Chains A and B, each alone.
Chain A
Amino acid sequence: MFNLIRNEQMKLFIQKSTWIMFILLFGFVILTAAITKGFEKPAAYTKDNWRQELEKQNKGYEKNMKDPDLKDDPDYMQYQMQQIETNNYYLEHDIQPASYGAWHFVKDSVYSISILSLLTIIVAAGIVANEFRWGTIKLLLIRPISRAKILLSKYLSILIFALILLVFYLIASWIVGALFFGFDGLNPKEAMFVDGKLVYDSIVGQSMVDYAYKLVNLVMMTTFAFMISTVFRNSSLAIGIAIFLMMAGTSILMFVARFDWAKYILFANTDLTQYTTGTPIIKGMTLQFSIIVLLVYYAIFLVASWFAFTKRDVAGA
């Protein structure tokens, strides 16, 4: 098994397209940092000005809350409220807040994690289908190794690739963040809302939790693309369907959210943070329910892949 995974990683990393992905990803991180610095102008606090700065911010938030156009948006109002409470926490406890730095940027980068899903989907869609396209599947499946084992090695290779990509993304974000916004220590703390409660805690720890939640969606979409690629033996189709669903999934969900059966849709369940921060997308959903739905989908994807790969003939082109 180790040798099979080694083979898959070798094939992946010898191809130039894989390296181009890493270069693109790095470019994307730099672009995000440049946009953040240029447009959002994150606050820098000094010993003398941080109190004035926070009070100024609070006035801004209060003004936002009186905006008649946004009064009906509960999420927006809640966000403004939380920002004010966070600032008040610093003022009350006389803690100078940490200026925006490398770790803050890593934490915010979680919102762009779909770029990782995109790249992993492309690789997952090709790992089986390309062997058919190249014709090498015939040489692969005449070895004294069961087809199930070959398929498993390919699936695990995708997960390993996703992990390498994630680690690269985190490191790149941290380095680029440090270059653009400055180094903010090894373990900076921040006042933030976790599960609806205000806490003063490590940014690093909280970022990892945020990333872990987002990985659910990445793994599900990757496994989905892997299944389509294995069943239809066509990578473009798998990339197309998976990316379309990833992009349009939430919009589709909004259309059908009023129906009760919508809660069984995959995309209604991939964002598990809905149970910690806000309200569930569809009433009556629980964390337990979502986990079961996710596991059922996951099992279906894997079984369909396994069935298509091990039971079907490899006929002529």
Chain B
Amino acid sequence: MTELAMELIDVKKSVGSKEIIKGISFSIKKGEVFGFIGPNGAGKTTTIRMMVGLMKISSGEIRICGKSIQSDYKEAAKQIGAIVENPELYPFMTGWQNLKHFARMNKDVTDERIREIASLVGLEKAIKEKVGRYSLGMRQRIGIAQALLHRPSVLILDEPTNGLDPAGIREMRQHIRLLAEKENVAVIISSHLLSEIELMCDRIGVIQNGQMVAVESVRGNESQAEEALLEVSLEAVPLDKARALLFAQHKVEADTDGAVLKFKSKKEDIPAMVQLLVQEQIDVYQISSSKATLEDKFFDLIGENTIV
């Protein structure tokens, strides 16, 4: 049985007369890691702030484990742990004091639990030090620790890889997969860098200009991969004739890039194309194909200039 951990139903947000979130709907299952991708300013953080109740929803509904964040705030908030933007804790207090502070704001978080979480994120030694002296990576970890204290069903991490080195990102990826698989926590991760979170997500939603433009599955689903179009590069002489033939016989619209033709095609069609070209006395020097990556789809969706 799959239960919904979080559900957004036609969520809209207007600030003044400007609509900044234009009707977002999606849902996340328990134990699923959902990537929330979009260029800066697309509305990721606004959407996340609405999910955790920091901002009001203009219209629509957000439900956490079936509880509305608007009308049943306390019950919904119990199920959420989050870092919104930077993991900002009290710099003048130690890690322990910070965790104790947030533990007191929930019921049933014992000192034992705080120790458990501190060791989970690998901060046992630094817990007695002031957070102001922590490195950025340690701050991310103490941020995750405060989000997990009360065993939430939904963990929301806004730009968690900001400022982390590759080793830190890998470590975080392992943590997040573990949480999702062992503790059945639904995790929502936002980022403007697809490559950094692609590997830890089950699904990725792309947001642009306040709208969800695509939701893609990252892992599994082999049949879908068979269907997918490949990027094909073909070097042949004469090039123009080859292009005309491919268009006439296979309805392929190819671009010329120097001495190379570039087009998209299904894998199963490629042998027939090569045969056709050879029969027509065209010299084929090389042909290569590559799977369109998620990144390419992402570029296609939102345009190349919008991501870094």
Give the interface of A toward B (CB within 8 A).
3-4, 6-7, 10-11, 14-16, 134-136, 138-146, 313-317
**Is there an interface contact between A143 and B85, defined as CB atoms closer than 8 Å?**
no
**Is there an interface contact between B49 and A136, defined as CB atoms closer than 8 Å?**
no
**Is there an interface contact between B88 and A316, defined as CB atoms closer than 8 Å?**
no
> In chain B between 36 and 92, which residues have their CB closer than 8 angstroms to a CB of chain A?
45, 49, 52-56, 73-75, 77-78, 80, 82, 84-86, 88-92
Give the interface segment out of B102-110, B217-225, B266-274. Answer: B102-110
Question: In the assembly, what is the distance between CA of A143 and CA of B77, in Å?
Answer: 6
Report B-chain residues with C-beta under 8 Å of the C-beta of A141: 53-54
Given A314-B54, A315-B55: A142 and B90 interface contact (C-beta under 8 Å): no
Which among A139, A145, A315 is the interface contact of B88 at CB below 8 angstroms? A139
Interface centre among B55, B82, B84 (most CB of A within 10 A): B84
Given A3-B105, A6-B104, A143-B105: A313 and B85 interface contact (C-beta under 8 Å): no
Given A10-B97, A316-B45: A139 and B54 interface contact (C-beta under 8 Å): no
Give the interface of B toward A (CB within 8 A).
45, 49, 52-56, 73-75, 77-78, 80, 82, 84-86, 88-93, 97, 101-102, 104-106, 146
Report A-chain residues with C-beta under 8 Å of the C-beta of B82: 142
A310 CB to nearest chain B CB (Å): 11
**Is there an interface contact between B49 and A144, defined as CB atoms closer than 8 Å?**
no
A151 CB to nearest chain B CB (Å): 14
Report B-chain residues with C-beta under 8 Å of the C-beta of A14: 90, 92-93, 97
Report A-chain residues with C-beta under 8 Å of the C-beta of B86: 135
Q: Given contact pairs A313-B56, A315-B49, A316-B49, enumerate 16 new A-B contacts (beta carbons under 8 Å).
A: A3-B104, A4-B104, A4-B105, A7-B101, A7-B104, A10-B93, A10-B101, A136-B89, A136-B90, A139-B89, A140-B105, A143-B102, A144-B75, A144-B77, A146-B73, A313-B55
Question: In the assembly, what is the distance between CA of A78 and CA of B91, in Å?
Answer: 56
Report A-chain residues with C-beta under 8 Å of the C-beta of B93: 10-11, 14
Report A-chain residues with C-beta under 8 Å of the C-beta of B80: 142
B85 CB to nearest chain A CB (Å): 7
Interface centre among B73, B75, B97, B105 (most CB of A within 10 A): B105
Report A-chain residues with C-beta under 8 Å of the C-beta of B85: 135, 138, 316-317
**Is there an interface contact between B105 and A7, defined as CB atoms closer than 8 Å?**
yes
Report B-chain residues with C-beta under 8 Å of the C-beta of A3: 104-105
**Is there an interface contact between A145 and B49, defined as CB atoms closer than 8 Å?**
no
**Is there an interface contact between B54 and A146, defined as CB atoms closer than 8 Å?**
no
Report B-chain residues with C-beta under 8 Å of the C-beta of A316: 45, 49, 85
Given A10-B97, A314-B55: A139 and B106 interface contact (C-beta under 8 Å): no
Question: In the assembly, what is the distance between CA of A59 and CA of B89, in Å?
Answer: 67
**Is there an interface contact between B92 and A15, defined as CB atoms closer than 8 Å?**
yes
Interface centre among A11, A140, A143 (most CB of B within 10 A): A143
Beta-carbon nearest neighbor of A8 in chain B: B101
Report B-chain residues with C-beta under 8 Å of the C-beta of A15: 92
Report A-chain residues with C-beta under 8 Å of the C-beta of B74: 144-146
**Is there an interface contact between B78 and A144, defined as CB atoms closer than 8 Å?**
yes
Given A3-B104, A14-B93, A315-B55: A138 and B84 interface contact (C-beta under 8 Å): yes
Given A7-B101, A144-B106, A316-B85: A134 and B90 interface contact (C-beta under 8 Å): yes
A91 CB to nearest chain B CB (Å): 60
**Is there an interface contact between B104 and A313, defined as CB atoms closer than 8 Å?**
no
Question: In the assembly, what is the distance between CA of A139 and CA of B90, in Å?
Answer: 10
Question: In the assembly, what is the distance between CA of A15 and CA of B77, in Å?
Answer: 29
Interface centre among A11, A138, A146 (most CB of B within 10 A): A138
**Is there an interface contact between A139 and B78, defined as CB atoms closer than 8 Å?**
no
A171 CB to nearest chain B CB (Å): 27
Question: In the assembly, what is the distance between CA of A10 and CA of B146, in Å?
Answer: 17
**Is there an interface contact between A142 and B54, defined as CB atoms closer than 8 Å?**
yes
**Is there an interface contact between B54 and A11, defined as CB atoms closer than 8 Å?**
no
**13 A–B contacts from the bound complex (CB under 8 Å):** A3-B104, A4-B105, A7-B104, A136-B89, A138-B84, A139-B102, A142-B52, A142-B53, A142-B80, A143-B102, A143-B106, A313-B54, A317-B85
Report B-chain residues with C-beta under 8 Å of the C-beta of A10: 93, 97, 101
**Is there an interface contact between B49 and A314, defined as CB atoms closer than 8 Å?**
yes
Report A-chain residues with C-beta under 8 Å of the C-beta of B49: 313-316
Which among A134, A142, A146, A313 is the interface contact of B84 at CB below 8 angstroms? A142
Closest CB pairs A-B (n = 6)? A135-B88, A144-B77, A143-B105, A3-B104, A313-B55, A314-B54
Question: In the assembly, what is the distance between CA of A7 and CA of B93, in Å?
Answer: 12
Beta-carbon nearest neighbor of B45 in chain A: A316
Beta-carbon nearest neighbor of A2 in chain B: B104
Report B-chain residues with C-beta under 8 Å of the C-beta of A135: 85-86, 88
Question: In the assembly, what is the distance between CA of A135 and CA of B146, in Å?
Answer: 14
Question: In the assembly, what is the distance between CA of A10 and CA of B104, in Å?
Answer: 12
Given A3-B105, A315-B55: A134 and B97 interface contact (C-beta under 8 Å): no
Report B-chain residues with C-beta under 8 Å of the C-beta of A138: 54, 84-85, 88
Report B-chain residues with C-beta under 8 Å of the C-beta of A4: 104-105
